[in-house]
A and B are shown apart, each in its own frame.
Chain A
Amino acid sequence: MVVQGIRKATVGQNGVGAFILQCKRLDFHYCDWAGSSKGMNSFLRNSLTKFAALNPQVEITVSPRPRRHPVIRGTYINGREKAICVRNLTKEQVLQKAELLRDANGEKLRKVTKPVKSINESVRGVWSPYHDGGIHV
């Protein structure tokens, strides 16, 4: 027993290897009566079948929400939810919102200042003043 092993767990990197779509479920809520649901109802009648067939990895539920504005709610693998109110939007705009929710990753929106992030070690290592002489100023 000379060297001991330390037990750890690996970290997933979605997209390295397999890619898992982060949107787990989309709930479509509509109202039969209110005018703000007009575009939503038309979307549900005409485009939802195609949208669902194109995105089999998303579970889709449709449920009425009487006397309320229509809402699309996305549930994500990280446990968060995102809801978009689609009142008074047309069919195409509702589709756009559904696609936006499908493509989101569920994280809070934040400004991306450094577009490339990596958990890999730096190839050149951490700079040290004791190595290689450095640059003499």
Chain B
Amino acid sequence: MKRLRLERWSGQLLTARSIPARTRPCCLRQQQQAALPPRIRFSSSAAMLSDDLILEDGEELEEESSPSDTKYPSPPLEAAFNSSKLAALHARLNLSPKLPLQTMARTLVDPSADSNADFNNAALSSLGGSIMSYHVSEWLLCTYPRLPMTVLFAASYAYSGPKTLQLVGKEWGVETAAAPGEEVDPGHLQFSKLKPGQALQSQGGSIRPDSKSYYRRGMSSRVVYDDEFGDTVSKQAEHDVPLPTEHAYASFVKAVVGSVYLHSGSAAAKTFVKNHILSRYLQIASLFQFREPVRELSRLCAREGFEYPVARILSETGRRSRHPVYVVGIFSGKDKLGEGAGPSLGEARTRACVHALKAWYLYSPGANVRVPSDMEVAGAQEWEPVHIDMGEVIH
């Protein structure tokens, strides 16, 4: 099997010959990547670029002939060293000095600002997005092995969906540039903003083969054809159309994860995702919306070979009053599965069934259960198989 050369994905390392259309000094690489530029940002000197940079192919760095007539859509690479915002962001995220400021600057350029794939974050964000969704989904699957597919989609949306990633990006202190351009500070997030009232451009259908409208979009087909949140993937995504702010922030956060992976390795990327994404607070129990809990619970008991669930009154008060309260428990044989309180017997029974079903679905072997990527560490203990559930109840 041929090894994937991920460092090739980082466009800074591409040779100038591979992109003949643009002659932009993009083929720079830091010599050992150990020496970061000085972090004192109020100095206004810009003469820190020349020494520790070499050309990948040994070519001479071309001087820009006339800077006035070539306007680039995103700031040049050397601006990354002079941006105090960018260096502060790098330090605030506690990133390793192996990750250079140029890459950090590149994560902030959205494809809608600069359509050249060597200067925007499209590649980094698709790499980082898959790493992030891998770590989120393996953690969710190992911690809550019985979550139904819909709730699993909702939970991974809650952890790594665009809404959350926008919050993450804002909590990192990243601001958006008013409009993309060459003169923008590289520490700002650059993308072309969707104007208020402007409709989102349709992205030309989905990649699903069932194009007819009467085809059912079931759960199992979503696992195969759709993205990690169960949404359809658009067929030809155009990159240079204006996009909502949350999508720009999402691709920035994903690109940071991707660049951490490229420069510091998979263990660092995993720690980064754990610290910034998985440490956030979510009540997974609040993601459930049931339809027929009574029937679902009886089907569950039939499937698992438990006795038929019976609703029993545990306590009650004020039956003949205006505000009665009933506490109803669901019993399977002599074991209580769940209980709920409500102002009528029907509602209390519904709540008890919902409680019992949630208790089934939210089974967890423990918060610190091992995930498959723990085995990548050298000298890891032998893998113990995690609990794998047969799936949600279908009726």
Interface set of A (CB-CB < 8 Å, partner B): 1-14, 16-18, 20-21, 24-25, 48-49, 52-53, 56-62, 77, 119-121, 128, 130-131
Contact = CB atoms under 8 A, between A and B. Distances in A.
B88 A4 contact: no
B24 interface: no
B134 interface: no
A59 B85 contact: yes
Interface in B162-184: 163-164, 167-168, 170-173
Interface in B40-86: 40-42, 84-85
A5 B152 contact: yes
5 smallest beta-carbon distances between A and B, as pairs: A17-B279, A5-B154, A56-B91, A10-B280, A57-B92
Contact of B88 (A17, A58, A120, A128): A58
B171 A20 contact: yes
Nearest to A17: B279
A8 B282 contact: yes
21 contacts: A2-B148, A2-B392, A3-B150, A4-B288, A5-B154, A5-B157, A6-B288, A7-B158, A10-B280, A11-B282, A12-B171, A17-B279, A52-B39, A52-B41, A53-B39, A56-B87, A57-B92, A59-B85, A59-B88, A60-B42, A121-B283
A47 to B, nearest CB: 13
Contacts of A21: 92
Interface of B: 39-42, 84-85, 87-88, 91-94, 148, 150-155, 157-159, 161, 163-164, 167-168, 170-173, 187, 219, 274-276, 278-283, 286-292, 296, 314-315, 317, 325, 327, 341, 357, 361, 392-395
A17 B274 contact: yes
Contacts of B292: 2
Nearest to A14: B171
A59 B163 CA distance: 27
A7 B154 contact: yes
Contact of B281 (A10, A18, A56, A77): A10
- Chain A contact surface mostly: loop
A58 B42 CA distance: 11
B39 A56 contact: yes
Given A4-B290, A12-B168, A13-B279, 15 more contacts: A4-B291, A5-B150, A6-B288, A8-B282, A11-B280, A17-B274, A24-B173, A25-B88, A52-B39, A52-B40, A56-B91, A57-B88, A58-B88, A59-B41, A128-B341
Contacts of A17: 274-276, 278-280
Contact of A77 (B159, B171, B395): B171
Contacts of B161: 7, 9
Contacts of A7: 154, 157-158, 161
Given A2-B395, A13-B279, A20 B172 contact: yes
B287 A6 contact: yes
A60 B150 CA distance: 47
Contacts of A2: 148, 290-292, 296, 392-395
Contacts of A25: 88
Contacts of A59: 41, 84-85, 87-88, 187
Nearest to B163: A9
A88 B290 CA distance: 66
In this complex, the member of B153, B173, B187 whose beta carbon has the largest number of chain A beta carbons within 10 angstroms is: B173
B276 A18 contact: yes
Contacts of B278: 17
A137 to B, nearest CB: 17
A6 B171 contact: no
Contacts of B325: 130
B298 to A, nearest CB: 12
